Amino acid sequence: MGVALRISFLFLSVMVLLPALCVCQGTFTCSRATYYGSPDCLGTPRGACGFGEFGRIVNGGDVGAVHRLYKNGTGCGACYQVRCKRPELCTDDGVNIVVTDHGEGDYTDFILSPRAFTKLARPSRAYDLMAYGVVDIEFRRISCQYPGYNLMIKVHEHSRYPYYLAIVIIYQSGQKDITAVDVWQEEYKEWRCMRNAYGAVWDMANPPKDAVSLRLQISGDDGQKWVQLNSVIPTDWKAGVAYDSAIQLD
């Protein structure tokens, strides 16, 4: 009887303490993070979002892969503040990262570039933190900021003028998702939807022969809206070139 009571007391004690151990501050969500190998400690140009070289260097290489937050590609380009939960090793502010890839590890929400992972640590403690491999974290979505840059529409390298057009949208500020992209068909006086090929890449066969006008469906906590970009891609567009939209999203 005494043993049973002690076991019951221990079980109740754990149940009382467990919520306290898992609580995160304010708008943060608890999870885990790890890091991937990289020869230069930056991102990878082969990330599932399709950003190419932009995905390697954006945000100074403070980037990461996500699984649950990937959202079939609409999560590409989102920004998050990530803080590790080991106060003896980690800073209070953590690191701000950009999602450029898809991946999952040992029950993690984030697989960070080595550069981003080491920024979780206090000065001179990065080696100690990396030795853990996987750490408890808390994270929240934040607004992306790209001072000096407008939203840009990059023609993907796999595009073939004039028969096949694929685009990827880069330097997207704010904290909303692009959930649809339409192209204006002057010949038919109507909008035609592009296909979300993968990640942040949108494509279509037989694009307009004139300058390409787009409209983007922007989705956030406050609902959806369309943003129109008139003649944002020139008639003689070229694969691999990024075109300035002259606007930025809030």
User: Whose CA is closest to 53, among 173, 174, 156?
Assistant: 156
Q: At which residue do the structure tokens 């109507």 appear?
A: 190
User: Whose CA is closest to 169, among 210, 204, 216?
Assistant: 216
The per-residue pLDDT for range 124-140, each reduced to its tens digit, is 999 999 999 999 999 99
Is the pLDDT at 3 greater than 50? The verdict is: no
Give me the amino acid identity at 239.
Answer: A
Domains, the chain, in order of start with CATH, read: 27-142 (2.40.40.10), 152-244 (2.60.40.760)
The per-residue pLDDT for range 141-172, each reduced to its tens digit, is 999 999 999 999 999 999 999 999 999 999 99
The per-residue pLDDT for range 79-132, each reduced to its tens digit, is 999 999 999 999 999 999 999 999 988 899 999 999 999 999 999 999 999 999
Q: How confident is the model at residue 2 (pLDDT cuts 50, 70, 90)?
A: very low
The per-residue pLDDT for range 32-81, each reduced to its tens digit, is 999 999 999 999 999 999 999 999 999 999 999 999 999 999 999 999 99
Q: Assign 3-class secondary structure to the chain.
A: CHHHHHHHHHHHHHHHHHHHHHCCCCCCEEEEEEECCCCCCCCCCCCCCCCCHHHHHHHHHCEEEECHHHHHHCCCCCEEEEEECCCCCECCCCEEEEEEEECCCCCCCEEECHHHHHCCECCCCHHHHHHHCCEEEEEEEECECCCCCCCEEEECCCCECCCEEEEEEECCCECCEEEEEEEEECCCCEEEECEEEECCEEEEECCCCCCEEEEEEEEECCEEEEEEEEEEECCCCCCCCEEECCCCCC
With a CB cutoff of 8 Å and minimum separation 6, the contacts of 102 are 47, 48, 49, 65, 66, 67, 70, 199
**Do the Cβ atoms of 157 and 239 come closer than 8 Å?**
yes
Rounded to two decimals, the pTM is 0.89
The per-residue pLDDT for range 18-38, each reduced to its tens digit, is 333 445 666 999 999 999 999
Question: What is the reported pLDDT for 120?
Answer: 98
